[in-house]
Structure 1
Amino acid sequence: MVIPVYCEEKGIELTLREVEKHLRMAASSWEIVVVDDGSSDGSWNRITSHAQQVPQLRALRLSRNFGKEAAVSAGLEAAQGQAVILMDGDMQHPPALLPTLIETWRTGEFDIVEAVKSSRGDESRLSALRAKLFYTILRTFSGHDLSGASDYKLLDQRVIAAYRTMQERNVFFRGMVSWMGFRTTRVPFHVEPRVAGDSGWSVFGLIRLAVVAVTSFSTAPCTSSRSSA
């Protein structure tokens, strides 16, 4: 498991307990890598305190807030095992889905088991507007429609190995995993309420991520350059 965390002091321990419970049901051997993305609250203290009770938990702390994509990359670099599951630390990615992701992967038919949003839950109007803005920018300028996609997914070690070789500086994890072309299946899930606090995404943050996504996956600048030449 890789769980990026930013200012989740109030809910991270509950999330970890739920994750551990469902991992014990589904796997005989497991680890959790929690990456604190420079939280300004007490998240790091909560994580390290919990790690003292759970030997399978490893805690990493970035020197400052680099953003979720950087925290994801750090976690994937550190993770071991035959497969890695990435999930958020706010309980909106339901831990109860973990056994389904693992059992689907164990069939050997898929390298990626992706959890996709069948509904967006009871998110606020502002959050829904931010998400719509992000996907509209991405779809308009890159041609990739990732509506409903999430970072909640299981990746076979073959996918992780390929991801590490690319060494991208500006990472859009969700798009990059889709772009790599490995055998993929989807499992629907309902977005649960946040266990505590508010989303760390601002409108500016989502626009910045959209710019990274567009420049990573759009061929429009190259096409324009060739036409003018």
Structure 2
Amino acid sequence: MTFDSQEPILSVVLPAFNEAGRVSVTIQDAAATFTAIHGDAWELIVVDDGSTDKTVDVVRSLSAMVPSLQLISHVGNLGKGAAVRTGVLDSGPE
């Protein structure tokens, strides 16, 4: 089985609400693990669920270092289930 190098074979959705203090380490650890296992064939989708802290800023600052990182933001807090659903609907090949 072969995969197009542009198509992720692993998509991970990370819902986040007011996680500015933790999200950086989580993203960096996940990126290192996924890269070791899958090379560049993965994507990490962070869905910010209307955070009122600096979660969005932290994720954006990591996007230059982690090209497979994607950020989606909800305008308000819709709940964890909605954040997961948003990420799943956006995952995978376009």
TM-score range, shorter chain: 0.7 to 0.9
Q: Which has the larger radius of gyration?
A: 1
Deviation at 1:3, TM superposition (A): 0.4
- The one-letter amino acid of 1:66's match is L
2:36 matched to which residue of 1? 25
Identity %: 30
| Relative contact order higher in (CA < 8 Å, ≥ 6 apart) | 2
Q: For residue 14 of structure 2, what is the aligned residue in structure 1?
A: 3
Residue 8 of structure 1: how far off its partner (Å)? 0.4
Note the aligned Cα RMSD (angstroms).
1.0
The one-letter code of the counterpart of 1:12 is V
Distance in 2 (alpha carbons) for counterparts of 1:20 and 1:55: 10
TM-score for both structures, normalised by structure 2: 0.82
Structure with higher strand content? 2
Structure 1 unaligned blocks of 5 or more: 82-229
TM (normalized to structure 1)?
A: 0.35
Number of matched pairs: 81
1:52 deviation in Å?
2.2
Residue aligning to 2:64? 52
Matched residue SS, 1:53: coil
3-state SS of the aligned residue for 1:80? coil
Superposed, which structure 2 residues align to 1:1-229 within 5 Å?
1-28=12-39, 29-80=41-92
What does the per-residue CA deviation read over 1:135-165, in whole Å, with 9 as the maximum and x for residues that have no partner? xxxxxxxxxxxxxxxxxxxxxxxxxxxxxxx
Name stretches of at least 5 consecutive residues in structure 2 with no aligned partner: 1-11
